[in-house]
Amino acid sequence: MKLVIAEKPSVAMSIAKVLGAKQRKDGYTEGNGYVVSWCIGHLVSLSPPESYGEEYKKWDNLPIIPNTWKYEVYKGTKKQFDILKKLMNEKRIDSIVCATDAGREGELIFRLVYNQTGCKKPIERLWVSSLEDSAIKKGFDNLKSGKEYNNLYTSALCRERADWLIGMNATRYFTVKNGNNGVLSIGRVQTPTLAMIVQRDRDIENFVKSKYYTIELDCGEFKAVSSKFESRSDVEEIAEKCKTARVSGVITEKKAVNPPKLFDLTSLQREANKIYGFTAQETLDLLQKLYEAKLVTYPRTDSRYLTEDMTETAKSVISAIVDTMDFTEIAEPDIKRVSDNSKVSDHHAIIPTINIKSKDLSSLSKNEKDLLYLVSAGLLMAVSPKYEYESTSILLKCMDFDFKAVGKQVTNKGFKEISEQFAAQIKSQKENDDDTILPYVVSGDEFSVTAKVLEHFTQPPKPYTEDTLLSAMEKAGSSDYTETDIERKGLGTPATRAGIIETLLKRDYIRRNNKQLISTEKGRNLIDTVPDKIKSPKMTADWENELSLIAKGKSDSTVFMAEITELVKSIVK
């Protein structure tokens, strides 16, 4: 028999149903040649510092750098671990199928349990991007050797151990250095993220606004505006003398805006925060529920493309969306635009599944339904035509100063038609996209004008929201990389960024003010205490890139861990 181990009971039940393993037991189900059981998230964790020696109970005994890493079973889930250990060592079990989430953390969850039980049986890997019955069946028809994912596991181990080394050592060191006046919690990703928020808040506080001025010419049928002026007296003098303006040129251009890409986790979290006010964690939790309900594909993806063999699947899903939701049919969906094998690493972009057609969507919570509609609209927009318009600029001269009037006439709404339908469904204010049609003029035409001085102020940076912070985390250190690079830099991964934000909130380093994320005095004090190398977004982004390369067998895990170890030693020296 094969023992299948899923990450959660609900996923195990979906797999068991497809495999015909219907006999319920304590902590597993079996039948038809399979035993299906589950973890409950992480069952095994790294041991605390004191397990390496009594001397490490003192926080000033540093550095703590294990020669051999120790692990232990979580007390709260020991019963399920014992069930898995018994099953994995039963004689009737010939091989183990790793069916945890198809990603770095899922691989780690399974391998730690496998190693802790002392199991030596061969591993096969189920790798699916959807929990639809057809996807699970296809996955079991094409099980991979567990060895193919050894590099992914190595990457996960490096991430876990690097976080432990930096977190344990730096937290203890800076807490003691700070006179044990409360724990200063340091994290490999957490602290650079906090540093960005603190820096943004200080930039806002230190911002000195300044005035500038423009002149608006009322030409009767349209208005034109000058460039910026710094002196009010100068601009008032010009405005007072501006009585006649002459057309110096007319520029007409055909322009187009490409449709947005499909959603990966980070872009979906950002959009859901903008539209619904969902936190990143709320979006991930809702998406996980929709995934387990077999209504969307795998959530924790960093790709915004489909694989090139998904054309028929995409067509079917698009048709199901139109039949199920209030969207107009797209005459010729351009699926080729969103399909690119080179831009899909472990999982393709997030899209709905064909099950939306058969599922009673009224059974979903309002937030689940809202997010499903957003994912559905995202797919339709991505395969819709470009938004096309004609832009006209009238250039004028008055008192030898330049003025400009800009008009626009939409020639093809394209994907914005879907955007408007979505806005209507969620009763959102649609964007102002009306035509601004300028009159027909030619060079040399003259107008009697009325000039008005407009006063403006420079604006400070805006506080981070989860939308803009997620974007900043994703882009950290990415200046040397192009969009085509699969190994992208950034703080954390799509799967971990929401958790990092929640950790900062939980530890009172930041607080929410409506949608804004604001640093607290406690958070600022921490950032002021630690050196640049601990809070550098670029360094952490470089490490994340290394972890991605390790997962693909393109970088050496030993070198990576040696660099982390040397950093830890330099911190506590």
The dihedral built from the CA positions of residue 99, 103, 107 and 108, taken in this order, carries a sign that is: negative
SS3 455: strand
Distances (CA, A) of 465 to 77, 188, 284, 407, 495: 36, 21, 16, 32, 18
Partners of 365 in the β-ladder: none
Strands 223-226 and 244-257: unpaired
Instruction: Give me the half-sphere count of Cα atoms (radius 13 Å) on the Cβ side of residue 405.
Output: 25
Residue 156 to residue 162: CA distance in whole angstroms:
10
298 is catalytic: yes
The dihedral built from the CA positions of residue 113, 119, 120 and 121, taken in this order, carries a sign that is: negative
The active-site residue, picked from 298, 387, 464, 509, is: 298
Alpha-helix residue ranges (DSSP H) falling in 512-556? 521-529, 532-535, 537-551
Give the DSSP H or E segment for 276: helix 265-276
Residue 518 to residue 529: CA distance in whole angstroms:
19
The number of helices, as runs of H, and strands, as runs of E, in the chain is: 18, 19
Tokens of 231: 């002196």
Distances (CA, A) of 104 to 111, 127, 300, 490, 553: 11, 12, 10, 16, 14
Tokens of 332: 């010729």
Beta carbons of 55 and 61 less than 8 angstroms apart: yes
Place of tokens 């007296």: 233
Inter-axis angle of helices 190-205 and 521-529, to 10 degrees?
110
Write out the catalytic residue numbers. 298
